[in-house]
Chain A
Amino acid sequence: MKTTRKRPIGFYIAGSWLSLIVFFSIFGKLLPLPTWDASDYEALGLKPFSSGHLLGTTMDGYDMFSGLVNGSRISVFVSVISVGLGGAIGAIIGISSAYYRGRYDKFVVLLFNVMLSIPNLVLSLALISTFASDTQDANASTLRRVVVLIVSLTIVIIPLVGRIARASTMQWTSREFVIASKSMGTENRMIIRRHILPNVAPAMLAIAFLAIGSVIIVEGSLALLGIGIPGGASWGSMLAAGRLNLEFSAHEVYLPALAIAFTVISTNWFGDYVRNSLDKREAKI
Protein backbone atom coordinates (compact mmCIF):
# COMPACT_ATOMS: atom_id res chain seq x y z
CA MET A 1 0.00 0.00 0.00
CA LYS A 2 2.16 2.81 -1.23
CA THR A 3 0.67 6.25 -1.17
CA THR A 4 2.13 8.64 -3.69
CA ARG A 5 2.33 12.10 -2.24
CA LYS A 6 2.12 14.96 -4.67
CA ARG A 7 5.47 16.65 -4.73
CA PRO A 8 5.69 20.44 -4.80
CA ILE A 9 6.78 22.14 -8.02
CA GLY A 10 10.00 23.36 -6.40
CA PHE A 11 11.06 19.74 -6.05
CA TYR A 12 11.08 19.35 -9.82
CA ILE A 13 12.79 22.69 -10.50
CA ALA A 14 15.53 22.09 -7.92
CA GLY A 15 15.82 18.48 -9.02
CA SER A 16 16.22 19.33 -12.71
CA TRP A 17 18.80 22.02 -11.99
CA LEU A 18 20.85 19.71 -9.80
CA SER A 19 20.65 16.84 -12.31
CA LEU A 20 21.74 19.26 -15.05
CA ILE A 21 24.76 20.32 -12.98
CA VAL A 22 25.65 16.73 -12.21
CA PHE A 23 25.25 15.82 -15.90
CA PHE A 24 27.55 18.66 -16.96
CA SER A 25 30.09 17.80 -14.32
CA ILE A 26 30.30 14.20 -15.47
CA PHE A 27 29.84 14.46 -19.24
CA GLY A 28 30.89 18.10 -19.77
CA LYS A 29 34.15 17.08 -21.39
CA LEU A 30 32.36 15.00 -24.03
CA LEU A 31 30.09 17.82 -25.19
CA PRO A 32 30.95 19.57 -28.49
CA LEU A 33 31.91 22.87 -26.89
CA PRO A 34 34.79 25.27 -27.43
CA THR A 35 37.74 24.49 -25.14
CA TRP A 36 37.20 26.35 -21.89
CA ASP A 37 40.78 27.54 -21.41
CA ALA A 38 41.59 28.49 -25.00
CA SER A 39 40.95 32.03 -26.09
CA ASP A 40 39.04 32.80 -29.30
CA TYR A 41 40.74 35.98 -30.59
CA GLU A 42 38.01 36.69 -33.11
CA ALA A 43 35.32 36.83 -30.46
CA LEU A 44 36.39 39.00 -27.54
CA GLY A 45 33.70 40.13 -25.11
CA LEU A 46 30.72 38.74 -27.01
CA LYS A 47 27.31 39.22 -25.41
CA PRO A 48 25.28 36.11 -24.58
CA PHE A 49 23.34 34.38 -27.36
CA SER A 50 25.95 35.17 -30.00
CA SER A 51 26.52 32.66 -32.77
CA GLY A 52 29.09 30.03 -31.82
CA HIS A 53 29.17 31.17 -28.23
CA LEU A 54 25.83 30.49 -26.54
CA LEU A 55 26.54 32.53 -23.41
CA GLY A 56 29.05 34.89 -24.97
CA THR A 57 32.75 35.20 -24.24
CA THR A 58 34.90 37.06 -21.74
CA MET A 59 36.89 40.15 -22.65
CA ASP A 60 39.80 37.76 -23.20
CA GLY A 61 37.83 35.59 -25.57
CA TYR A 62 37.13 32.59 -23.32
CA ASP A 63 33.80 30.86 -23.96
CA MET A 64 31.45 31.43 -21.00
CA PHE A 65 29.33 28.33 -21.47
CA SER A 66 32.26 25.90 -21.55
CA GLY A 67 33.73 27.79 -18.60
CA LEU A 68 30.57 27.24 -16.60
CA VAL A 69 30.37 23.58 -17.59
CA ASN A 70 33.97 23.08 -16.54
CA GLY A 71 33.35 25.03 -13.33
CA SER A 72 30.46 22.75 -12.44
CA ARG A 73 32.89 19.84 -12.52
CA ILE A 74 35.20 21.50 -10.02
CA SER A 75 32.36 22.70 -7.79
CA VAL A 76 30.59 19.35 -7.70
CA PHE A 77 33.88 17.53 -7.15
CA VAL A 78 34.99 19.77 -4.30
CA SER A 79 31.63 19.90 -2.55
CA VAL A 80 30.71 16.23 -2.92
CA ILE A 81 34.11 14.99 -1.78
CA SER A 82 34.38 17.33 1.19
CA VAL A 83 30.77 16.83 2.32
CA GLY A 84 31.03 13.08 1.79
CA LEU A 85 34.28 12.82 3.69
CA GLY A 86 33.32 15.27 6.43
CA GLY A 87 29.87 13.73 6.69
CA ALA A 88 31.23 10.21 7.07
CA ILE A 89 33.78 11.18 9.71
CA GLY A 90 31.26 13.41 11.51
CA ALA A 91 28.66 10.64 11.48
CA ILE A 92 31.06 8.08 12.93
CA ILE A 93 32.18 10.42 15.71
CA GLY A 94 28.69 11.78 16.42
CA ILE A 95 26.89 8.43 16.48
CA SER A 96 29.51 6.64 18.56
CA SER A 97 29.75 9.46 21.11
CA ALA A 98 25.98 9.58 21.58
CA TYR A 99 25.75 5.80 21.80
CA TYR A 100 28.58 5.12 24.23
CA ARG A 101 28.30 8.41 26.18
CA GLY A 102 30.68 8.87 29.10
CA ARG A 103 33.94 10.80 28.97
CA TYR A 104 34.41 10.18 25.26
CA ASP A 105 31.11 11.95 24.59
CA LYS A 106 32.07 14.94 26.72
CA PHE A 107 35.34 15.23 24.83
CA VAL A 108 33.57 15.06 21.47
CA VAL A 109 31.10 17.77 22.45
CA LEU A 110 33.99 20.01 23.50
CA LEU A 111 35.84 19.26 20.27
CA PHE A 112 32.77 20.06 18.13
CA ASN A 113 32.21 23.31 19.97
CA VAL A 114 35.80 24.37 19.47
CA MET A 115 35.64 23.45 15.78
CA LEU A 116 32.37 25.29 15.29
CA SER A 117 33.78 28.41 16.90
CA ILE A 118 36.40 28.77 14.16
CA PRO A 119 34.97 30.77 11.23
CA ASN A 120 35.19 28.50 8.21
CA LEU A 121 36.44 31.16 5.83
CA VAL A 122 39.29 32.06 8.18
CA LEU A 123 40.22 28.41 8.61
CA SER A 124 40.37 27.81 4.85
CA LEU A 125 42.32 31.03 4.36
CA ALA A 126 44.86 30.03 6.98
CA LEU A 127 45.28 26.50 5.66
CA ILE A 128 45.57 27.48 2.02
CA SER A 129 47.97 30.35 2.62
CA THR A 130 50.12 28.08 4.79
CA PHE A 131 50.13 24.93 2.73
CA ALA A 132 49.30 25.91 -0.83
CA SER A 133 50.24 29.49 -1.49
CA ASP A 134 52.29 30.75 -4.40
CA THR A 135 55.93 31.29 -3.60
CA GLN A 136 58.32 33.60 -5.37
CA ASP A 137 59.81 30.74 -7.34
CA ALA A 138 56.78 28.73 -8.25
CA ASN A 139 53.02 28.85 -8.28
CA ALA A 140 51.26 26.30 -6.14
CA SER A 141 49.84 23.56 -8.31
CA THR A 142 46.10 23.39 -8.86
CA LEU A 143 45.98 19.90 -7.44
CA ARG A 144 47.62 21.03 -4.22
CA ARG A 145 45.18 23.91 -3.92
CA VAL A 146 42.21 21.61 -4.48
CA VAL A 147 43.44 19.06 -1.92
CA VAL A 148 44.06 21.66 0.78
CA LEU A 149 40.71 23.29 -0.02
CA ILE A 150 38.92 19.95 0.35
CA VAL A 151 40.71 19.20 3.62
CA SER A 152 39.81 22.57 5.09
CA LEU A 153 36.17 22.23 4.03
CA THR A 154 36.05 18.70 5.44
CA ILE A 155 37.18 20.02 8.81
CA VAL A 156 34.32 22.49 8.70
CA ILE A 157 31.74 19.84 7.79
CA ILE A 158 32.72 17.32 10.50
CA PRO A 159 31.20 19.13 13.51
CA LEU A 160 28.25 20.32 11.43
CA VAL A 161 27.11 16.81 10.52
CA GLY A 162 28.53 15.29 13.71
CA ARG A 163 26.35 17.41 15.96
CA ILE A 164 23.21 16.48 14.07
CA ALA A 165 24.20 12.79 14.09
CA ARG A 166 24.85 12.95 17.83
CA ALA A 167 21.55 14.64 18.67
CA SER A 168 19.59 12.27 16.47
CA THR A 169 21.36 9.20 17.85
CA MET A 170 20.62 10.21 21.43
CA GLN A 171 16.96 10.37 20.57
CA TRP A 172 16.96 6.92 18.96
CA THR A 173 19.23 5.18 21.48
CA SER A 174 16.67 5.54 24.26
CA ARG A 175 13.94 3.99 22.08
CA GLU A 176 12.60 0.68 23.26
CA PHE A 177 13.50 -1.25 20.13
CA VAL A 178 17.16 -0.54 20.77
CA ILE A 179 16.85 -1.86 24.32
CA ALA A 180 14.84 -4.76 22.94
CA SER A 181 17.56 -5.65 20.48
CA LYS A 182 20.15 -5.27 23.22
CA SER A 183 18.12 -7.60 25.44
CA MET A 184 18.49 -10.28 22.78
CA GLY A 185 22.26 -10.06 23.11
CA THR A 186 23.00 -8.10 19.93
CA GLU A 187 26.42 -6.47 19.94
CA ASN A 188 26.69 -2.70 20.12
CA ARG A 189 28.22 -2.31 16.67
CA MET A 190 25.46 -4.36 15.13
CA ILE A 191 22.83 -2.29 16.93
CA ILE A 192 24.39 0.90 15.61
CA ARG A 193 24.53 -0.43 12.07
CA ARG A 194 21.10 -2.01 11.93
CA HIS A 195 18.97 0.07 14.27
CA ILE A 196 20.56 3.48 14.75
CA LEU A 197 22.07 4.26 11.35
CA PRO A 198 18.94 3.73 9.22
CA ASN A 199 17.01 6.04 11.52
CA VAL A 200 19.69 8.71 11.74
CA ALA A 201 20.58 8.70 8.03
CA PRO A 202 17.72 10.91 6.76
CA ALA A 203 18.57 13.71 9.20
CA MET A 204 22.19 13.57 8.10
CA LEU A 205 21.16 13.57 4.44
CA ALA A 206 19.15 16.74 5.00
CA ILE A 207 22.07 18.52 6.63
CA ALA A 208 24.45 17.23 3.95
CA PHE A 209 22.43 18.98 1.23
CA LEU A 210 22.59 22.23 3.15
CA ALA A 211 26.33 21.69 3.63
CA ILE A 212 26.91 21.26 -0.11
CA GLY A 213 25.34 24.67 -0.63
CA SER A 214 27.54 26.37 1.92
CA VAL A 215 30.66 24.65 0.58
CA ILE A 216 29.98 26.09 -2.87
CA ILE A 217 29.61 29.55 -1.33
CA VAL A 218 32.83 29.19 0.64
CA GLU A 219 34.69 28.07 -2.47
CA GLY A 220 33.37 31.13 -4.31
CA SER A 221 34.33 33.46 -1.49
CA LEU A 222 37.85 32.07 -1.36
CA ALA A 223 38.23 32.54 -5.10
CA LEU A 224 37.09 36.12 -4.76
CA LEU A 225 39.74 36.61 -2.09
CA GLY A 226 42.28 35.33 -4.58
CA ILE A 227 43.11 32.01 -2.99
CA GLY A 228 40.63 29.75 -4.71
CA ILE A 229 41.36 27.33 -7.50
CA PRO A 230 43.62 29.28 -9.85
CA GLY A 231 43.13 29.97 -13.54
CA GLY A 232 39.40 30.65 -13.59
CA ALA A 233 38.64 26.95 -13.32
CA SER A 234 35.78 27.10 -10.86
CA TRP A 235 32.65 29.26 -10.74
CA GLY A 236 34.20 31.30 -7.98
CA SER A 237 37.41 31.97 -9.85
CA MET A 238 35.47 32.85 -13.04
CA LEU A 239 33.63 35.41 -10.97
CA ALA A 240 36.87 36.67 -9.47
CA ALA A 241 38.47 37.06 -12.89
CA GLY A 242 35.38 38.60 -14.45
CA ARG A 243 34.84 41.25 -11.84
CA LEU A 244 37.70 43.30 -13.37
CA ASN A 245 35.64 43.64 -16.55
CA LEU A 246 32.36 44.34 -14.83
CA GLU A 247 31.65 47.66 -16.58
CA PHE A 248 32.33 46.26 -20.09
CA SER A 249 30.81 42.80 -19.94
CA ALA A 250 28.61 42.30 -16.90
CA HIS A 251 27.65 38.79 -17.99
CA GLU A 252 31.14 37.60 -17.02
CA VAL A 253 30.09 38.20 -13.41
CA TYR A 254 26.41 37.52 -13.35
CA LEU A 255 26.49 34.20 -15.19
CA PRO A 256 28.76 32.38 -12.69
CA ALA A 257 27.00 34.21 -9.85
CA LEU A 258 23.66 32.91 -11.13
CA ALA A 259 25.06 29.40 -11.44
CA ILE A 260 26.23 29.54 -7.82
CA ALA A 261 22.94 31.04 -6.63
CA PHE A 262 20.74 28.49 -8.43
CA THR A 263 22.81 25.59 -7.18
CA VAL A 264 22.83 26.79 -3.58
CA ILE A 265 19.10 27.53 -3.62
CA SER A 266 18.44 24.09 -5.10
CA THR A 267 20.50 22.21 -2.53
CA ASN A 268 18.95 24.22 0.32
CA TRP A 269 15.54 23.52 -1.05
CA PHE A 270 16.32 19.83 -1.37
CA GLY A 271 17.62 19.72 2.18
CA ASP A 272 14.42 21.34 3.41
CA TYR A 273 12.34 18.89 1.42
CA VAL A 274 14.18 15.91 2.90
CA ARG A 275 13.76 17.34 6.40
CA ASN A 276 10.08 18.01 5.91
CA SER A 277 9.31 14.54 4.66
CA LEU A 278 11.32 13.28 7.61
CA ASP A 279 9.13 15.24 10.03
CA LYS A 280 6.03 13.82 8.43
CA ARG A 281 7.43 10.30 8.77
CA GLU A 282 8.28 10.97 12.42
CA ALA A 283 4.72 12.11 13.08
CA LYS A 284 3.38 8.80 11.78
CA ILE A 285 5.52 6.60 14.00
Chain B
Amino acid sequence: MSSILRLENLSVSFQTPRGSLAAVRDVSFELNEGESLGVVGESGSGKTVLSRATMGLLPGTATRTGKVSFLDKDISAMPRNEVRDLWGTGMAMIFQDPMTALNPVRRIGDQLMESLRVRLSMPKKEAKAKAIELLKRVRIPDPEGILRKYPYQLSGGMRQRIMIAIAVSCEPKMLFADEPTTALDVTVQAQVLELLSELRREFNMAMILVTHDLGVVAGHTDKIAVMYAGDVVEFAPTRQLFKNMKMPYTEALLKSIPRLETPTGTRLPVIEGRMPDPTKDEPGCPFASRCAYVTDKCRAEKPPLIDNNDGHFYRCWFPIGGEK
Protein backbone atom coordinates (compact mmCIF):
# COMPACT_ATOMS: atom_id res chain seq x y z
CA MET B 1 0.00 0.00 0.00
CA SER B 2 1.33 3.39 -0.91
CA SER B 3 0.94 6.55 1.05
CA ILE B 4 -1.76 8.96 -0.09
CA LEU B 5 -1.51 11.66 2.53
CA ARG B 6 1.36 12.63 4.78
CA LEU B 7 1.30 15.50 7.23
CA GLU B 8 4.58 16.69 8.71
CA ASN B 9 4.48 19.15 11.59
CA LEU B 10 1.30 20.81 10.39
CA SER B 11 0.38 23.80 12.52
CA VAL B 12 -2.37 26.33 12.01
CA SER B 13 -2.86 29.57 13.85
CA PHE B 14 -5.35 32.38 13.48
CA GLN B 15 -4.64 36.05 13.96
CA THR B 16 -7.23 37.37 16.38
CA PRO B 17 -7.53 40.66 18.24
CA ARG B 18 -6.49 38.81 21.42
CA GLY B 19 -3.34 37.49 19.82
CA SER B 20 -2.31 34.44 17.89
CA LEU B 21 -4.65 31.47 18.39
CA ALA B 22 -3.05 28.06 17.90
CA ALA B 23 -5.81 25.87 16.45
CA VAL B 24 -3.65 22.94 15.34
CA ARG B 25 -0.21 22.26 16.81
CA ASP B 26 2.48 20.21 15.18
CA VAL B 27 0.42 17.37 13.77
CA SER B 28 2.13 14.59 11.81
CA PHE B 29 0.67 11.37 10.48
CA GLU B 30 0.46 9.28 7.37
CA LEU B 31 -2.50 7.72 5.65
CA ASN B 32 -2.36 4.94 3.04
CA GLU B 33 -4.53 4.56 -0.03
CA GLY B 34 -8.02 3.38 0.77
CA GLU B 35 -7.51 3.74 4.50
CA SER B 36 -9.81 5.66 6.76
CA LEU B 37 -8.83 7.78 9.71
CA GLY B 38 -11.20 9.01 12.40
CA VAL B 39 -10.37 12.35 13.96
CA VAL B 40 -12.08 12.62 17.33
CA GLY B 41 -12.23 15.41 19.87
CA GLU B 42 -14.56 17.83 21.58
CA SER B 43 -15.71 21.13 20.11
CA GLY B 44 -12.83 23.50 19.55
CA SER B 45 -10.15 20.83 19.62
CA GLY B 46 -9.07 21.74 16.08
CA LYS B 47 -10.43 18.77 14.15
CA THR B 48 -12.32 20.80 11.53
CA VAL B 49 -9.39 23.19 11.12
CA LEU B 50 -7.09 20.20 10.68
CA SER B 51 -9.13 18.80 7.81
CA ARG B 52 -9.61 22.18 6.13
CA ALA B 53 -5.93 23.02 6.53
CA THR B 54 -4.98 19.72 4.93
CA MET B 55 -7.06 20.59 1.88
CA GLY B 56 -5.96 24.21 1.88
CA LEU B 57 -9.43 25.62 2.47
CA LEU B 58 -8.58 28.04 5.25
CA PRO B 59 -9.78 31.63 5.49
CA GLY B 60 -7.30 34.46 4.95
CA THR B 61 -6.80 35.07 8.67
CA ALA B 62 -5.12 31.69 9.12
CA THR B 63 -1.43 30.84 8.83
CA ARG B 64 -0.38 27.30 8.05
CA THR B 65 3.09 25.90 8.58
CA GLY B 66 4.45 22.41 8.00
CA LYS B 67 4.26 20.12 5.04
CA VAL B 68 1.27 18.36 3.46
CA SER B 69 2.06 15.71 0.87
CA PHE B 70 -0.71 14.27 -1.29
CA LEU B 71 0.28 11.33 -3.50
CA ASP B 72 3.92 12.17 -2.75
CA LYS B 73 3.53 15.75 -4.00
CA ASP B 74 4.09 18.57 -1.57
CA ILE B 75 0.83 20.47 -1.91
CA SER B 76 1.61 22.96 0.83
CA ALA B 77 4.20 24.56 -1.44
CA MET B 78 2.09 24.44 -4.62
CA PRO B 79 0.57 27.60 -6.11
CA ARG B 80 -3.11 28.01 -5.36
CA ASN B 81 -4.47 27.28 -8.81
CA GLU B 82 -2.59 23.98 -8.96
CA VAL B 83 -4.02 22.97 -5.60
CA ARG B 84 -7.45 23.88 -6.90
CA ASP B 85 -6.98 21.40 -9.74
CA LEU B 86 -6.73 18.69 -7.10
CA TRP B 87 -9.91 19.72 -5.34
CA GLY B 88 -12.90 17.69 -6.39
CA THR B 89 -10.92 15.24 -8.50
CA GLY B 90 -8.14 14.44 -6.02
CA MET B 91 -9.71 15.27 -2.72
CA ALA B 92 -13.19 16.38 -1.79
CA MET B 93 -15.00 17.38 1.35
CA ILE B 94 -18.39 16.65 2.86
CA PHE B 95 -19.60 19.41 5.14
CA GLN B 96 -21.11 19.31 8.56
CA ASP B 97 -24.42 20.99 7.95
CA PRO B 98 -26.34 19.90 4.85
CA MET B 99 -28.81 22.73 5.50
CA THR B 100 -26.24 25.40 4.66
CA ALA B 101 -23.87 23.57 2.35
CA LEU B 102 -26.31 23.64 -0.58
CA ASN B 103 -27.16 26.84 -2.39
CA PRO B 104 -30.80 27.65 -1.49
CA VAL B 105 -31.62 29.29 -4.84
CA ARG B 106 -30.32 26.65 -7.21
CA ARG B 107 -31.82 23.33 -8.18
CA ILE B 108 -30.24 20.12 -6.90
CA GLY B 109 -29.53 19.02 -10.46
CA ASP B 110 -27.57 22.18 -11.31
CA GLN B 111 -25.49 21.90 -8.17
CA LEU B 112 -24.81 18.22 -8.66
CA MET B 113 -23.91 18.65 -12.32
CA GLU B 114 -21.76 21.73 -11.72
CA SER B 115 -18.54 19.95 -10.88
CA LEU B 116 -19.15 17.24 -13.50
CA ARG B 117 -19.50 19.85 -16.21
CA VAL B 118 -16.82 22.21 -14.98
CA ARG B 119 -14.21 19.79 -13.72
CA LEU B 120 -14.71 16.82 -16.02
CA SER B 121 -16.07 18.95 -18.92
CA MET B 122 -18.90 16.53 -19.52
CA PRO B 123 -21.60 17.49 -22.03
CA LYS B 124 -24.93 18.30 -20.44
CA LYS B 125 -26.68 15.04 -21.35
CA GLU B 126 -23.88 12.88 -20.06
CA ALA B 127 -23.63 14.91 -16.87
CA LYS B 128 -27.33 14.44 -16.28
CA ALA B 129 -27.10 10.69 -16.74
CA LYS B 130 -24.14 10.59 -14.37
CA ALA B 131 -26.01 12.73 -11.84
CA ILE B 132 -28.95 10.33 -11.90
CA GLU B 133 -26.57 7.42 -11.46
CA LEU B 134 -24.92 9.17 -8.51
CA LEU B 135 -28.26 9.84 -6.87
CA LYS B 136 -29.20 6.20 -7.30
CA ARG B 137 -25.92 5.20 -5.74
CA VAL B 138 -26.57 7.29 -2.65
CA ARG B 139 -30.03 5.66 -2.59
CA ILE B 140 -32.25 8.58 -3.34
CA PRO B 141 -35.65 7.57 -4.65
CA ASP B 142 -36.94 9.18 -7.86
CA PRO B 143 -33.62 10.73 -8.93
CA GLU B 144 -35.07 12.42 -12.03
CA GLY B 145 -37.61 14.26 -9.89
CA ILE B 146 -35.04 15.25 -7.26
CA LEU B 147 -32.84 16.91 -9.89
CA ARG B 148 -35.53 19.53 -10.39
CA LYS B 149 -36.09 20.19 -6.69
CA TYR B 150 -34.65 22.93 -4.50
CA PRO B 151 -32.76 22.15 -1.28
CA TYR B 152 -35.57 23.36 1.00
CA GLN B 153 -37.86 20.69 -0.42
CA LEU B 154 -35.66 17.88 0.89
CA SER B 155 -35.06 16.42 4.34
CA GLY B 156 -31.75 16.69 6.18
CA GLY B 157 -30.79 13.09 5.47
CA MET B 158 -31.50 13.49 1.77
CA ARG B 159 -29.50 16.70 1.58
CA GLN B 160 -26.54 15.02 3.27
CA ARG B 161 -26.74 12.21 0.71
CA ILE B 162 -26.73 14.82 -2.03
CA MET B 163 -23.66 16.44 -0.44
CA ILE B 164 -22.03 13.02 -0.51
CA ALA B 165 -23.04 12.52 -4.14
CA ILE B 166 -21.51 15.90 -5.04
CA ALA B 167 -18.31 15.11 -3.15
CA VAL B 168 -17.78 11.73 -4.82
CA SER B 169 -18.98 12.90 -8.26
CA CYS B 170 -15.45 13.37 -9.62
CA GLU B 171 -14.26 10.16 -7.95
CA PRO B 172 -11.69 11.68 -5.59
CA LYS B 173 -8.89 9.60 -4.11
CA MET B 174 -9.40 11.12 -0.72
CA LEU B 175 -12.55 12.23 1.08
CA PHE B 176 -12.77 14.55 4.05
CA ALA B 177 -16.00 14.09 5.97
CA ASP B 178 -16.39 16.91 8.46
CA GLU B 179 -18.93 15.70 11.03
CA PRO B 180 -21.20 14.40 8.27
CA THR B 181 -23.77 13.05 10.69
CA THR B 182 -23.90 15.71 13.40
CA ALA B 183 -26.94 17.46 11.95
CA LEU B 184 -28.85 14.22 11.37
CA ASP B 185 -30.90 12.08 13.71
CA VAL B 186 -29.55 8.81 14.99
CA THR B 187 -31.29 6.39 12.61
CA VAL B 188 -30.22 8.37 9.56
CA GLN B 189 -26.69 8.69 10.97
CA ALA B 190 -26.14 4.97 10.74
CA GLN B 191 -27.41 4.85 7.14
CA VAL B 192 -25.17 7.72 6.06
CA LEU B 193 -22.09 6.19 7.69
CA GLU B 194 -22.83 2.83 6.11
CA LEU B 195 -23.18 4.56 2.75
CA LEU B 196 -19.84 6.32 3.19
CA SER B 197 -18.06 3.06 4.01
CA GLU B 198 -19.64 1.40 1.01
CA LEU B 199 -18.63 4.18 -1.40
CA ARG B 200 -15.16 4.12 0.09
CA ARG B 201 -14.75 0.44 -0.66
CA GLU B 202 -16.21 0.85 -4.13
CA PHE B 203 -13.98 3.73 -5.22
CA ASN B 204 -11.00 2.72 -3.05
CA MET B 205 -11.08 6.15 -1.43
CA ALA B 206 -9.12 7.14 1.61
CA MET B 207 -11.20 9.04 4.13
CA ILE B 208 -10.73 11.31 7.09
CA LEU B 209 -13.85 11.20 9.22
CA VAL B 210 -14.07 14.08 11.65
CA THR B 211 -16.46 13.62 14.53
CA HIS B 212 -16.89 14.19 18.23
CA ASP B 213 -18.47 10.78 18.73
CA LEU B 214 -16.14 7.85 19.40
CA GLY B 215 -19.04 5.53 18.71
CA VAL B 216 -19.29 6.81 15.15
CA VAL B 217 -15.67 6.10 14.26
CA ALA B 218 -15.52 2.69 15.91
CA GLY B 219 -17.05 0.71 13.07
CA HIS B 220 -16.01 2.83 10.13
CA THR B 221 -12.31 3.63 10.44
CA ASP B 222 -8.95 1.85 10.34
CA LYS B 223 -7.10 4.38 12.49
CA ILE B 224 -8.09 6.96 15.03
CA ALA B 225 -6.48 10.25 15.97
CA VAL B 226 -7.73 11.83 19.18
CA MET B 227 -7.33 15.58 19.31
CA TYR B 228 -7.29 17.87 22.29
CA ALA B 229 -6.63 21.62 22.23
CA GLY B 230 -4.95 21.46 18.84
CA ASP B 231 -2.70 18.49 19.67
CA VAL B 232 -3.03 14.93 18.50
CA VAL B 233 -2.94 13.27 21.91
CA GLU B 234 -3.39 9.67 20.84
CA PHE B 235 -3.01 7.96 17.48
CA ALA B 236 -3.58 4.24 16.99
CA PRO B 237 -5.24 1.61 14.83
CA THR B 238 -8.92 1.52 15.77
CA ARG B 239 -8.91 -1.95 17.38
CA GLN B 240 -5.78 -1.21 19.32
CA LEU B 241 -7.19 2.04 20.61
CA PHE B 242 -10.37 0.54 21.98
CA LYS B 243 -8.57 -2.49 23.41
CA ASN B 244 -5.66 -0.70 24.97
CA MET B 245 -6.13 3.03 25.25
CA LYS B 246 -3.33 5.00 26.81
CA MET B 247 -4.66 8.53 27.14
CA PRO B 248 -6.82 9.50 30.11
CA TYR B 249 -8.59 11.94 27.75
CA THR B 250 -9.62 9.17 25.35
CA GLU B 251 -10.91 7.19 28.28
CA ALA B 252 -12.87 10.16 29.55
CA LEU B 253 -14.36 10.68 26.08
CA LEU B 254 -15.45 7.07 25.91
CA LYS B 255 -16.98 7.20 29.37
CA SER B 256 -19.07 10.21 28.49
CA ILE B 257 -21.01 8.33 25.79
CA PRO B 258 -24.42 7.50 27.26
CA ARG B 259 -25.11 3.77 27.56
CA LEU B 260 -28.27 1.72 27.61
CA GLU B 261 -27.16 -0.29 30.67
CA THR B 262 -26.90 2.71 32.97
CA PRO B 263 -29.91 2.83 35.28
CA THR B 264 -32.27 5.75 34.67
CA GLY B 265 -31.75 8.69 36.92
CA THR B 266 -27.94 8.50 36.99
CA ARG B 267 -26.22 11.62 35.85
CA LEU B 268 -24.26 11.31 32.63
CA PRO B 269 -20.52 11.39 33.22
CA VAL B 270 -18.96 14.56 31.86
CA ILE B 271 -15.39 15.80 31.53
CA GLU B 272 -15.29 18.57 34.09
CA GLY B 273 -13.76 21.91 33.26
CA ARG B 274 -12.88 23.50 29.96
CA MET B 275 -10.10 23.44 27.42
CA PRO B 276 -7.24 25.86 28.05
CA ASP B 277 -7.29 29.24 26.32
CA PRO B 278 -5.83 28.61 22.86
CA THR B 279 -4.33 32.10 22.69
CA LYS B 280 -2.07 31.37 25.67
CA ASP B 281 0.80 28.94 25.59
CA GLU B 282 0.94 27.63 29.13
CA PRO B 283 3.42 25.08 30.40
CA GLY B 284 2.34 21.57 31.29
CA CYS B 285 -0.11 19.10 29.76
CA PRO B 286 -3.14 20.99 28.36
CA PHE B 287 -5.41 18.31 29.85
CA ALA B 288 -3.85 18.56 33.33
CA SER B 289 -6.62 20.63 34.88
CA ARG B 290 -9.30 18.10 33.92
CA CYS B 291 -7.39 14.83 34.22
CA ALA B 292 -8.29 12.29 36.92
CA TYR B 293 -4.71 11.04 37.21
CA VAL B 294 -2.94 14.40 37.27
CA THR B 295 0.47 14.73 38.97
CA ASP B 296 2.87 17.62 39.55
CA LYS B 297 4.92 16.61 36.54
CA CYS B 298 1.85 16.98 34.30
CA ARG B 299 1.35 20.56 35.48
CA ALA B 300 4.99 21.48 34.95
CA GLU B 301 5.93 19.92 31.66
CA LYS B 302 4.06 19.10 28.46
CA PRO B 303 4.51 15.46 27.46
CA PRO B 304 5.90 14.73 23.98
CA LEU B 305 4.21 12.33 21.54
CA ILE B 306 5.50 8.97 22.71
CA ASP B 307 5.88 6.11 20.22
CA ASN B 308 4.76 2.76 21.61
CA ASN B 309 6.48 1.01 18.67
CA ASP B 310 3.33 -0.68 17.42
CA GLY B 311 1.74 2.16 15.48
CA HIS B 312 0.37 3.53 18.71
CA PHE B 313 1.31 7.05 19.78
CA TYR B 314 0.23 8.94 22.88
CA ARG B 315 0.98 12.17 24.63
CA CYS B 316 0.97 11.36 28.34
CA TRP B 317 3.49 10.99 31.14
CA PHE B 318 1.47 8.34 32.94
CA PRO B 319 -0.49 6.34 30.34
CA ILE B 320 -3.30 4.05 31.42
CA GLY B 321 -2.02 0.49 31.87
CA GLY B 322 1.53 1.63 32.45
CA GLU B 323 3.18 1.61 35.88
CA LYS B 324 2.24 4.60 37.97
Contacts and interface: CB of A to CB of B under 8 A. Distances in A.
Contacts of B104: 177, 199, 285
Contacts of A183: 55, 57, 87-88, 92-93
Interface size class of B (residues with CB under 8 A): 20 to 34
Contacts of A182: 57, 87
Contacts of A187: 84, 118
The main secondary structure of chain A at its interface with chain B is: helix
B105 interface: yes
A186 B118 contact: yes
B285 interface: no
Contacts of B87: 182-185
A185 B115 contact: yes
Interface stretch (B18-26, B95-103, B259-267, B275-283): B95-103
B124 to A, nearest CB: 15
Interface size class of A (residues with CB under 8 A): 20 to 34
Interface string B82-125: 00111111001101110011111110001100110011000000
B153 A195 contact: no
Given A1-B153, A176-B95, A183-B87, A199 B55 contact: no
Contacts of B115: 181, 184-186
A199 B110 CA distance: 15
A180 B93 contact: yes
Contacts of B103: 177, 181, 194-195, 198-199
Contacts of A186: 88, 114-115, 118-119
Contact of A184 (B100, B105, B166): B166
B77 to A, nearest CB: 19
Nearest to B167: A184
A174 B115 CA distance: 20
Contacts of B86: 185
Interface of A: 1, 101-102, 175-177, 179-187, 190, 194-195, 198-199, 284-285
Interface of B: 55, 57, 60, 84-89, 92-93, 95-97, 100-106, 110-111, 114-115, 118-119, 152-153, 163, 166-167, 169-170
Given A176-B100, A179-B101, 7 more contacts: A176-B101, A180-B101, A187-B84, A198-B105, A198-B106, A199-B103, A199-B105
